[in-house]
Amino acid sequence: MASSDPTERPAAEPDSGAAAPSAPIHSNGDSGAAAPADPNPGAASPANPVTAAPDPSDLPEEEARARAEELAREIRRHDHLYHVEGRPEISDGEYDRLFRELRALEEAHPELVTPDSPTQRVGVDPVASLPTVEHVAPMLSLDSTQDAAEVRRFDERIRKALDGGESEYVLEPKLDGISIELVYKEGRLARAVTRGNGREGEGVTENVRTIRSVPLLLRTESRPAPELLAVRGEILMSISAFEAFNQSLMEEGSEPYANPRNATSGAVRQLDSAITARRPLQCLAYDILHVEGTAFRTDMEGIQALEEWGFALPERVELVANVEAVEAYHAGFDGDRDELDYEIDGIVIKLNDLDDRSDLGSTSHHPRWALAWKFEPRKEVTRVEGIAVQVGRTGVLTPVALLRPVEVGGVTVSRATLHNREELARKDVREGDRVRVQRAGDVIPQVVEVVTEGADAERGPPFQMPELCPNCDTPVVEDGPFSRCPNRFGCSAQLKGRIVHFGSRRALDIEGLGEETAALLVDREMVKGPADLFDLEADQVEALPGFAEVSARKLVEAIAARRRTELARFLHGLGIPEVGATVARDLAHHFRSLDAFLAADREVLEAIPGIGPRMSEVITEFVSEERTRAAIDELALRMEALTVPEEPGAGGPLEGQTWVFTGGMEEMTRTEAKRRVEALGAKATSSVSGKTDVLVAGEGAGSKLEKARELEVEVLDEAEFLERLRELEG
């Protein structure tokens, strides 16, 4: 692939100082080649149908509007040709002439300026902060592996879940950039939101508008724009653009970035979008999160639509029919990895059929129908200068190697995890050892092994994990391969992490209660347990570094506002092992009160779907430990109400029923059918069992239909299902 020059076609006017993004990485042409020199920049180009420009101030409003629309349309076309397809038709000089004319028209007639005008890509006035915005649909992370055998097991699970049928997979490179949600209403870019916690992120719309591979207005030549479209993409810098950008920083005396991802993250989250406009960013779209006004049956149909709407796509997206083709695709990208002009850390495997995806569903963290197959990490050798022990939020003591700094895959590493007591003993890492270090998933540094060849220093004694917690001196207990401090709320190291978790977005969502604030509150002994948060007063907080009267008052008010909260958020905020947001919600809806939950024994817990012996054991151990229970009781005294909202469909005519859908449907997708019965109170699952009340069998129904008949489950065909819906929905 040709490397591209980030200083080619400017992102705005030539005198704007804005560096343009490199050419799109999906192009197979020589997209890095410079546009031909323009012998006469002021002359009309044969490739450009726009006519010569009159004085904008002399044009009546209607003529000015028509001219502006004509110019904007033509500039968008050339932006797409250059930044998405990598095949420019006109010179930079001619492009600049078109841009200057549009800018002059808009200055003479301000009423012509629209949010999707090409002139609006150069940035607007800085903002004070980035808003928090909820996603249209969840942006889940992917389960991942480096093991080829696990990929085959993933394929087996998929085929088994699909009744042994064939499974097609969409394959694409796993890009190492910043995930973004792009939301379009009636074809116009309405907002852009970072991934954040998957449920909500930071609104960065004005920054993303400056990225020229992001359509401000969807192309509709081949396909009409939908009413609402939410697209997931990745914002990144090509390696060549990053190197040129870093060189420019060093030339002006600024600190360079460690890697393209860090530089991208900093650019996307700028408060001043004019700065973002000067960064060589590009955006590649790869998934439709939500769409209204049209529908797709496969992922490849959605990808084709994205291309027709004008998005740049990752290169080498392929549709394959078996796991052998997946292995060949992975090997091909791995072999080309060092030659690519962009960072990837693996490939993504996604089921193509969208109804099948709906049947498989997702956990609270990742979809069951997709898998990231990571490459083997890059590795380097350095020296262990010491070993420290850190205490995490859950009390686990983790040995950490303090390393002589070494660059691994473009990042300087000085600390690396040794995982746990048993792993440390197995690797026998000691102070003074030469070790091989890698970045797991090209992100988290870890020690792979001790390097004995060429050892030139005497080894230190074997490292022993401490018997007492290094933070609170509580005797450490062994929990499998881990050493753990059981003093959950009394150990200051754990307490800091627990307070941050308690106030996190999916727990009580307390604005302003971050890591620095939690550390200050604990270190100053203002908070000795989560309950103490609700006793804080504004003048106490104001005395902390970084706080003033207004910020202190806002934090205290934000905490006080959470005295009334949902029981599910409260349970999640306690940080019970094995209990994430989804399990906390199930517990809350089952028990309906904190007292009922605290009184439950293992047998009662295991009666709840999804909670097995291991989870029930962990939960009961947590709530029955004396110090932990005292902290929960103190916290409960501070709460005014722990509510349990009704689930969608509660009280509906199908409440308590379980429905399963199989086979193809003509009138609606299975996803829509599930949504309709859930709105009526039913639970839609993907497998038939003795608890199934109704099976809806569409065209091509297989083993699920046979099993339903064996179990004497009521079976409806599509026509009968639609008639039942009409009766129930009234």
Q: What is the pLDDT of residues 560-585, one digit of tens each?
A: 999 999 999 999 999 998 888 878 98
Which of 299 and 359 is assigned the larger pLDDT? Answer: 299
Burial track 616-646 (b if 16+ CB lie within 10 A, e otherwise): beebbebbebeebeebbebbeebbeebeeee
Mean pLDDT of the residues in the chain? 84
pLDDT in tens, 206-226: 999 999 999 999 999 999 999
The full set of domain ranges for the chain reads: 35-121, 144-374, 379-481, 492-643, 658-729
CA 615 to chain centre: 27
pLDDT at 102: 84
Token digits of residue 180? 């973004």
Amino acid 21: pLDDT: 38
| pLDDT value, residue 473 | 94
Q: Is 674 assigned a catalytic role? A: no
Which architecture characterizes domain 658-729 according to CATH? 3-Layer(aba) Sandwich (3.40)
What CATH superfamily is the domain 35-121? Helix hairpin bin (1.10.287.610)
**pLDDT value for 603:** 92
- Three-state SS string over 610-658 comes to CCCHHHHHHHHHHHHCHHHHHHHHHHHHHCCEEECCCCCCCCCCCCCCE
At 145, give phi and psi (nearest 5°). Answer: -155, 160
Which listed CATH number (1.10.10.10, 3.30.428.10, 1.10.150.20, 1.10.1040.50) goes with 492-643? 1.10.150.20
The CATH architecture that domain 144-374 belongs to is: 2-Layer Sandwich (3.30)
For residue 365, pLDDT over 80 is answered with: no
For the chain, the straight-line distance linking the first and the last C-alpha, in angstroms and rounded, comes to: 59
Region 232-260 average pLDDT: 84
Weakest mean pLDDT among 350-354, 370-374, 486-490, 704-708? 704-708
| Residue 459 CB burial class (10 angstroms; 0-12, 13-18, ≥19) | middle
Nearest of 588, 620, 590, 623 to residue 602 by alpha carbon: 620
Which pTM value belongs to this model?
A: 0.58
Whether pLDDT at 523 is above 90: yes
pLDDT over 90 percentage in the chain: 46
Instruction: Quick: pLDDT tens for 49-96.
Output: 444 556 666 677 788 788 888 888 888 888 777 666 667 777 766 777
Domains 379-481 and 492-643 alike in fold: no
160, 174, 379, 674: the active-site residue: 174
* Better pLDDT: 589 or 508: 508
Adjacent-strand bridge partners of 287:
232
Residues 401-459 have pLDDT tens digits of 999 998 886 678 888 889 888 989 999 999 989 999 987 655 578 898 999 876 556 78
Local confidence band at 369 (pLDDT 50, 70, 90 cut-offs):
very high
CATH tag for 379-481 (out of 2.50.20.10, 1.10.1240.10, 2.40.50.140, 1.10.1060.10):
2.40.50.140
Task: Give the contacts of 65 (CB within 8 A, at least 6 positions apart).
Answer: 109, 112
Which residue type, as a one-letter code, is found at position 433? D
229 has pLDDT over 70: yes
3-state SS, 166-227, equals: CCCEEEEEEECCEEEEEEEECCEEEEEEECCCCCEEEECHHHHHCCCCCCCECCCCCCCCCC
Instruction: Kindly indicate the confidence band of residue 45, based on its pLDDT and cuts at 50, 70 and 90.
Output: very low
Say what the pLDDT of residue 676 is.
87
